[in-house]
A and B are shown apart, each in its own frame.
Chain A
Amino acid sequence: MKRKFFKSIIIAAGGLLVFAACSKSFLETDPTGTPVENNYYRNETEAFKGLVAVYDVLGWQGNAYITKTGMADAASDDHYAGGGSSTDVSGLQVMSNYTVDAATGPSAELWQKGYAGVFRANLLMEKLPNVPMDENKKKRFVAECKVLRAYFYFDLVRLFKNIPLITKTLATSEFNTVEQADPAQVWALIEKDLTEAIAETQLPDKLAGSETGRMNKGIAHALLGKVYLWEKKYAEAAAQFELVNGIPGASNAYGYSLLSNYADLWKFTNKFNSESIFEISFSSLSGGTWDCTSCTEGNVLNVMVGPRGYSPTPGAPDYYSGWSFLPVTQSLFDALHFDPRFNATIINLDSLEKNGIAKYEKGYMNTGYFLAKFAAKNSDRTTGGGNVELNFGQNLYEIRLADSYLMEAEALVRAGGGTEAGSRAYTLLNAVRARVGLNPVSATIDNIMKERRLELAGEGHRWFDLVRTGDAATVLASKGFKAGRNEILPIPLQELENTKIQQNKEYGGTK
């Protein structure tokens, strides 16, 4: 027995020792399937995945169905927020009735989107010098990052005005010490980023095939033009647009041309067509489900704007029943009613129902008119997996040629250029009108802005135009817009928690 006893002691002690010896590695577990940052960005493939992550932010939708386009539409005189009730997607509702404050509204989502993009661009630009890969490709990646960063900052500064200017990744110790920059510095960085990208020979002029969706020189020029327009640097703006627009209605350096049929712009399959300059990609094939609405690559606007409870009779237009957001106001309806672009822009369900062609359910703030440009048809349903609602794949135009024509025309006129036949502004404006068969008119600011409203209806430009031109206070007064407040959004409340960020004066803060 004694011997057995010692044997077991030795075995037990041995066991303990063996265990102690390997316990160090026992406690080091692998983050399986998730690389560690320090070991990442080792080659071109990984650097490219980092670049895709920057692009990802373009299609950012968050979990609350907040998009820049949806927010701007709801805030404009062309749409109401709509939806199922007065609190359905509250971020849109408070923009529509101008009760937005720091706690409620689209601020948190749009702020986070912008800075996620800035961070990913900053990070990749810091990592790239140490990635062993083709130097020319590196230069191209950097130029793309700069265009994207400029785009993110452009939206941030337009929407929030007083924002932190972050141009490198922050150390943990700096997280709570960041302060807001003078907006002029932000505008300067945007110009600098775009100018540098344009100067980079590795940034392609145009893209085709497997590269569509990436940044190119055409986008950089158009975006810079738009930035100048916002800064009221009209001559500089016009110069940039001229590079993009070339000879209106004929040709330009980047191969852009207006589509002959306006309605073709809204076919979900008609992606990256010749009129498209800066287009944001979506896909119907990512299999998005309700488990994570922010994970889908589908475009949520498509189901959001569709008529609610749509029940057609045979022969009625084929729409997918949606959630009745962004119903069209009577004002836009009247403005477009006899315009050739009407049918491509507005679904008149009111009339369809009156004529017994289709029925639908009246959602919140129902007008009977819906936004046809984004409304999904049954034929647009995904052929892949996932919930149908979350997997419509229409792309969105950030800047298209007609927009660019009109912006150049505006810049030219505001810079003192001519408005009548023979002037470039006149040619640009009427190229847009001629495409839909409208007679030429003189290129007065009024006419240009009116054309912008009709041509670009529902595309998220109207509200920004009204703010930019200072017309918002009068045009939107009936919706509750307050001058000196609603031109910008409040800094999201949570961002003020334990940071040096101060709320904008417009929202009771000190900035």
Chain B
Amino acid sequence: MKLTAFLLLAACLHISAKGLSQQITLSEKGAPLKKVLREVARQAGISVVYDEAQLAATYPVTISVKNVSVQTALDKALAGQPFSYKVEGSRITLVKASSVNTAAADSSITVTGKVVDEKGDPIPGATIRVQGTSTGTATDANGHFSIKVPSPKSQLAFSFIGYNQQVLQASANPMTVKLALSSTSLTETVVVGYGVQKKSVVTGSISSIKSTEFENQPVTRVEQVLQGRTSGVTVVASSGQPGSASSVRIRGNTSFNNNDPLWVVDGVVVDNGGVSYLNQSDIESMEVLKDAASAAIYGTRAANGVILITTKKGKEGKLRVNYNGYVGTSAPARKLNLLNATEYATLINEGLVADGKAPKYANPAALGEGTDWQDLIFNNHAFRQNHEISLSGGNDRSTFYTSFGLMKQDGIVATDISKYQRATYRINSTHKIAKWLTFGENLSYAYEKNSGLGNTNSEFGGPLSSAINLDPITPAVVYDKTVAANAPYTNTGVVRDASGNPYGISDAVKQEITNPLAYIQTRLGNYNYSHNLVGNAYLEAEPIAGLKLRSTFGGKMAFYGSDNFVPVYYLNSSTTNTRTSFTRDQNNNRSWNLENTISYSRTINKHDFSVLVGQGAYMDGYLQNTNVAYFGIPASTFKEASLNYKIANTNKTASGKDGLLHTVASYFGRLNYNYAEKYLVTGIIRRDGSSRFPTDRKYGVFPSVSLGWVPTKEEFFPENNVIDFLKIRGGYGSVGNDYIVDNGALNEHGYLSTIGDGRNYTIGGEILVGNSPNAPANVLLHWEETHQTNIGFDLAFLKHFNFTFDWFNKKTVGILMNPRVPTYTGSFSNPPANVADNQNRGIDMELGYHGKIGEVQLNVNGNASYVKNKSLYLGDGVGYITTNQQNFQSSTYPITRTVLGYPLNAFYGFKTAGIFQNQAEVDAYVDGKGNKIQPNARPGDFRWVDTNGDGAITEADRQVLGNPMPTWTYGLNISATYKNFDINLFAQGAGGNKIFQGLRRLDIKEANMQNKALGRWTGEGTSNTYPRMTLDDPNRNYSNPSDFYLEDGDYLRLKVLQIGYTLSNNVLKRIGAQRLRVFVTGENLFTFTKYTGFDPEIGGTVSSIDRGIYPQARSYMFGLNVTF
């Protein structure tokens, strides 16, 4: 109201012969009053005089008139406005209505107050606007504001990006306005790599998860956050062992080597599997960059998608202390139905008789239930707890966030040797050195310690596999003194319980399958540990508005290792150890990266653009490993074991390893442009050089472009109450991969022919070291590339709903692998090469509802994804490859194979066509020439499909039987708040895959069976799916890998159900807290599946092969959140 208050602007158009009699035609929708007045003035050729400052307090005008008088037009335009008008000749002057209607000179008041978020933290920079005017202000650094409004009845709109707008009536008393996070909102920002972007203008395919979605959920490792909460991401736990990693796949398997996405934490590239150090409460948001157009900014290692994690930062204001924690217990969710002793003996007898042998058990019924091995190893009360305390705060110059976390979790299987614990510490801080210069750092330390079963998802022993395979007749502990005094209990090293009774040793089931209680005793105390120090520091300068220069240095130091003691033991005749050993393994692994970026963003009229250029250097693979083993130390338990024993040098072995460095140098640039947030363009180019390629082929260039269009912002888009926002987007780009694995080890110098050692021979009594080349060089080695097209749209509709859809076609070409070279070349290993192409096609969908029904605040998010994988090319004339081929037990044939035109590592084996019910059917199963195909089969045996029609069942009859990778993944998250209560339900599932149910050892004929064996074929018409009992198995009913072992992998799991109650303020004030919430959580309460194993969620190099997977636990927890 300073100068402008007196500055009268007149729109004077001196067109004669016009005037008040002029017919006015107007059509405006939501136009500013000023615009309408000017239009009236133009058409009538008169002047309209007004005070521009006052005009600010007017409402937008919607008017549609045809050939009316000036007065009529003005009356309509000013209806409801706080103005009237005076006509003075050919001049019209606007007059404030108040001065006409009331005597009061000025009813305007000054409103002050504060805008805070849900937790009561101030929101700086929130906008306060007087409704219907353009008058507005913003909150200061402490969330305070002050604004003059025209009247006490004025409505004030409070808004901030990412929060729901609130409209309140002005108040003379200081107002405290609480804004709730908006989860629908298209005003949300997402992290896009080297910056943030408004979600409404993003053109790529990015899924974002905010901390509110997983804050109080029982998450042991961050990968689990992604499971079921985003589309396009398949997360499969590789074990229910606490703390074990999950495999994360973004839009399918792309390569033969590495399919893990790139993890970037606060801008630091963290190597694969290395995110276990993160504490979930420290995470602010996770973003999944799914398509090439988004991921291309991380060009090099982005072929499998990128996951960006942003940790929490402090906020200005008073110190905040937050505690989150829970305690609970876990139990196995499911037990297998195995045969009891009577059933077992009956079936074994039946098999022996069928093989023409004498039955082994005289009186099966007398054996009763026998030993339930599962009961002996399962813990129904495994304890788990998690505590996290964070402190944050700061002032206008510095802010900080620091947290401590402690997690302890006991496994549900053989708890004595299955434990996990983690302690974390984090400090994130930012400091404004000068107005234009900011320094910040994010630093975290984590210690993890875990004890594992030593053998999980392995058919070769371990407590789970043993519990499934051991016969129920063998007692867990032998109490009979006469039995205990005889072989095999006379052997040195027989393991005994606390009272000195030996643990039972099975006479029927041997090899690696041992008494799990005895096995546990041999591994007590052994553990792995890791110390991880991960952090980065950055300096950011903003010398002029919009121009930012940023330098970031990040690094990770990991110290990890293990202590293992092996006592003298005799578990059975083939699982013995005749002298003690103590092994210590220590590793020191370091990596660092340096990035420099310059970005500039500016808005000129409706043109909004930002440019980013940058450079990065990355180094990893710096590993130092030493491993020392002492043999024959005089210790009998882990506790007694020590390297302090002075044993003869010849009884010590030592080995070590130096890592080979992997370096990447990159240059990258990005241009974002949008016109009025209506037409959107993003272009990215990145050039990466990798040390893994020969000098002239080190660099790869990875461009991408994506476009978007927001039709709802177009003038012509019809006004409606259905579609609030629509954005259509599409993009194409390529990303690269330099990851080459050979025999499980990274191949850093595949382009060189290196000389390997260890080709040793004993000459003159001395072991001499021999050297020979490893593999021929491949000088043509270059980047593997993934090209991806993505088309999708984002839709907000009916005010409360949003829907996102993406279709993608992802093609990987020149896949890096080590194609098998013929062994007659004498090559020690297979040289890497760019062979094979692979395709993933699919769709991602997300649907959300956010609204209020009565007093219930309801948020529902659902997502579903489908991906179809297919190998397109495997080399010239190559129909299949055997890389990563999976074997099962001693089965003659591998169970997976990558066949052209089918998914990677598909299940491969024989196909069954029912069971021969009688001899006539055996005789009738003939080929074209009338020859019997299975002349030696007997009724009750499988009829194998003679795929190639050659009249015999041979290896050539094997075929692709199913896909081990789920094609569908979906999730549903419902949260509702009613008064002080809140409830959260999270369900997740996957399907479309097959599971190889390999729980039983086929080579151990007398291994126990699941009770579905009771439904075996016992005579004509008894079964067409489960063959007759036989131990010799001449028809290979059991020993051929076939569809007999494949089951559908579909499942739906109620992952989390949580009910919380937030205590009212009065109670809290007494203890000095701001907010206190208590909750109970149930995890993995129900799993709906037809699968007959422990758990349908089975990870691994090739997923869905169940060799006795450590099942996911069902847990119940009680928790507390307190904010001070």
Contact = CB atoms under 8 A, between A and B. Distances in A.
A303 to B, nearest CB: 11
Interface in B563-581: 572-574, 576, 578-579
Interface string A193-222: 000000000000000011111100000000
Most buried by A among B650, B658, B698: B650
Contact of B820 (A26, A31, A497): A497
B762 A386 contact: no
Contacts of B778: 172
A50 B770 contact: yes
Given A31-B660, A116-B828, A210 B543 contact: no
Interface stretch (B290-298, B361-369, B521-529, B745-753): B745-753
A349 to B, nearest CB: 13
A325 to B, nearest CB: 11
Interface stretch (B379-387, B484-492, B968-976): B484-492
B545 to A, nearest CB: 12
B1045 to A, nearest CB: 17
A38 B1039 CA distance: 49
A85 interface: yes
A141 to B, nearest CB: 13
Interface in B250-281: none
A379 interface: no
A19 B760 contact: no
Contact of B771 (A9, A49, A386, A495): A49
Contact of A311 (B490, B629, B761): B490
Contact of B760 (A52, A120, A164, A497): A52
A53 B758 CA distance: 8
Interface stretch (A55-63, A73-81, A411-419): A55-63
Contacts of B105: none
Given A56-B770, A104-B892, A32 B658 contact: yes
Nearest to A494: B820
B770 A12 contact: no
A74 to B, nearest CB: 16
Contacts of B893: 103
A285 B767 contact: yes
Interface in A357-372: 359, 361
Most buried by A among B617, B778, B831: B617
Given A52-B770, A498-B877, A15 B596 contact: yes
B652 interface: yes
B662 interface: yes
A28 B690 CA distance: 9
B827 interface: yes
B776 interface: yes
A285 B892 contact: no
Given A46-B771, A49-B769, A311-B487, A383 B892 contact: no
B822 A501 contact: yes
A388 B890 contact: no
Interface in B104-121: none
Interface residues of B, number: 95
Interface string B934-978: 000000000000000000000100000000000000000000000
Given A36-B753, A213-B763, A385-B651, A361 B573 contact: yes
B824 interface: yes
Contact of B691 (A12, A29, A311): A29
B691 A309 contact: no
B163 interface: no
Given A23-B689, A286-B767, A497-B820, A36 B660 contact: no
Contacts of B541: 4-5, 8
Given A27-B663, A53-B770, A119-B826, A214 B574 contact: no
B661 interface: yes
A187 interface: no
Contacts of B396: none
Interface in B715-769: 748-749, 752-769
Contacts of A26: 617, 663, 665
Contacts of B598: 12
B847 interface: no
A52 B761 contact: yes
B936 to A, nearest CB: 13
Interface string B528-572: 000000000000010110000101000000000000000000001
B196 interface: no
B660 A164 contact: no
A46 B770 CA distance: 9
A56 B755 contact: no
Most buried by A among B648, B762, B828, B1003: B762
A154 interface: no
A252 B49 CA distance: 133
Contacts of A2: 543
Interface in B827-854: 827-828, 831
Contacts of B551: 12, 15
A115 B1003 contact: no
B752 to A, nearest CB: 5
Interface string A165-203: 010011010011010000000000000000000000000
Interface string B577-617: 01100000000000000001010000000000000000101
B764 A211 contact: yes
B754 A34 contact: yes
A383 B544 contact: no
14 contacts: A9-B549, A12-B598, A23-B617, A26-B617, A27-B689, A27-B690, A29-B748, A31-B748, A52-B759, A53-B771, A286-B767, A321-B578, A384-B650, A385-B630
* 3 closest cross-chain pairs (CB), A and B: A119-B826, A309-B573, A5-B543
Given A30-B661, A494-B823, A495-B823, 9 more contacts: A29-B661, A34-B754, A37-B753, A50-B772, A119-B772, A164-B824, A178-B824, A359-B487, A384-B631
